[in-house]
Every structure is written in structure tokens, then in C-alpha cells.
Structure 1
Amino acid sequence: MLPFFSIIIPTLNEELFVKKILGDLAKQKVKNFETIVVDGNSKDKTRQIILTYQRKIPITLLRRNPPNLPLQKNLGAKQAKGSYLLFLDADMSVSPSFTKAAERLIRNKKGLVFQPYLFPLEKDEYPEVSTVYPLVNKLIEFSQNFNKPFSAGPAMFWERKVFLTIGGFDNIFGEDHQIIRKAHTWVCVQNFSPA
């Protein structure tokens, strides 16, 4: 059976962070996904750590040299088998019910592009940063009503066919904002949801 999600994680020297996101994925209540990690030729133990998680969750490890974030994401998308692509950063964290809730949201809303609200991992560690998240979430939500939508970048869900049809991420800085604008020109509206 094909996975509902292909979770794509670009990495470059992420040995301090990648354990957390892979551990979170291993704890998912619903295993409706495959994981594709595209490493940009890390010089630390990132790849070795990823390989230890292959016993717990289905992981495909790809390499891209030289590293290039948009091209790493696109390489993962081209290898994906899931109906939806989910792009996560290596330093993110997700709850054990994340994939279950995300699939339910997608099936209920029938969207092509989704962007969940983002929250800081530790509210008390950097309080000045924590206060920015609600503002950014509201600005993104508000931007969807105009001809210049934007995105926070991480944790974007795409219907795989739509992502590949519009050509994936452009090889530029700010590729996450650019792809939302590109999708908008194809009359794809981003669903921005707190759930």
C-alpha cells in the first residue's frame, strides 16, 4: 500500500537536531507515511544517526552534493510515493498524533496546499521569539486573502501532483515564499490551519 504522506527532510550537519524529528516520527500513532531524508553531504554524524532510525520507520536516505536546500527538497519530492508531500526541517518537532490529524484535515478540507500554524518548541527558552509566532501565523493567514500570499516555510503539505506540475521549488533564497506565489498563479490557494 502506498503511503498517504511522503515526509521530506533536507539535512546538512544536523546531528544535534535530527534525532528529535526522527524520534517524533517513530512515535506517530498512525504510520501513514514514508520518510525521505536528503542530505547535503554532511560532515558530522547526521547520516549515521539517520541510518539508526531505519529500523523504526521507513527511511530513504539520499545525498545531494553540493548542498542546496531547494534542490534537496525537489530531489526528495521526485522520489516520493505518497499522495501528499510534507516538508519538515530537521530541527522541528511534531506531536504523536501529527500525521493522523494532518490526514484528517486534508481529507476534510480537500485542499492542494496546506500550511499549519507554527509554534516554538520551548516557550520559556527564548520568550522574545515566542511572541513572534502568533503574529507571523496571523500575517500568513491574512495574506491568503490578497494576491501576495506568503508562507512561513517549514511544514508545508502539497498534493504531490500539484507540486510536480508547478515545477517544485525554484533554486532561490526564499523558495518557500516563491512556491506559494507560483501556486497562487495556478489558482491554488494555501489552506492555513491551526489544526
Structure 2
Amino acid sequence: MKTLRISFIIFILIFHSTFTQANVVEKSEMNRGNEQSKLFSKLPDDLTDIGYVQVGNATFTFLFWDIYNSRLFTKTGKYDDNSGQDLLFKINYLKDISADELIKRTVEQWQHLKYDESKYQHYIPKMKSIWPDIKSGDSLTLYRKNQTTIFYFNNEEVGNINDKSFSNLFLDIWLSNNTSQPKLRKLLIGE
């Protein structure tokens, strides 16, 4: 009888230990899931709902036509071009533009910045697979989080480029000191 009691106690201890370990693993998995969820599969209309503060906004105009409105968001409401901080850059289009035209304009801006073709050429197929044709009223948002650049079309995730160099390269079109639109840059970074 004593042996049976000891066996039962050992069984309870082993069961409790296994249950506790499983519970710890489950909580660890949940925390990892919560951290991962910060990569958002869908963005809210109001980006302040996810803790981002607008740094600045600007409208790009060509001749007499407004082409798009753009807004830059960070967690602090300030932009630090050397930090690689998490940020959101949202463009609301006021004119239609095809994905091919969008890529062409992107490459033209990289050429303006005098970037060697080898620096961006390998990103072009990925951008083609992510970016849709855009109609007036659509939005395209870049979300930079750690090493990943995620694109959202009308707040729905459409793809990502898991390379920290890409987000800097893309954002340089607007935020580099050598941008083709210095006034737009100043408005975006809140100067």
C-alpha cells in the first residue's frame, strides 16, 4: 500500500512538472505570437491606433496636377535618418498609375540618387510581384520593422522584402538629402 502511495505521489509530481513545462512553452509561444503580430497583416485606417505618430505629410505635385499625398509615421513622431527606426510611410494616390509605371519611376529616382544599378536591380522582380496597379483613391504603405519591409495596398498586406537594405534604398527616394524633391522631404520629416 505504501509503495502504491509513493508511486501515486511520483505520478502526480511528474504530471504536474510536465503540465507546468507545457504551460510555460505555451505562454512562450503566445508571447512570440504577440511579438510577431506587431507585423500586422492589416493596418487600421488611423495609424495612431497602433502607436504611430505622424512626423509630417506632403503632397507631390507635377506641373498643375496633384499626384499623391504622403505621410511619414514613427513611434516618437520624430524621424532619425541614421537610426533605422521602425516606421510607416503611406502614400495616398490621387491619380491612376500602373505597377510598371510605378517601378519605372522608382528606378528613375534611384538613378537620380546615382545609385549603381547593381544596388537595386535584384529588387525589381520582387517589387513587380508585390505592387498592384493603382487607381485614384488607393494607398500603398511601407512598414519598416526590424529587418523586414512590408507593403500594404489599401491597408491589406500584399508582400514583403526581408532585407534591411531595401527599406533604406526605397525611402531614400523621399528622405535622402539628395532627393529630387527637397521641399517634400522637409515637410515629411517635419522641418
Provide TM-score, normalisation by structure 2.
0.29
Structure showing greater radius of gyration is 2
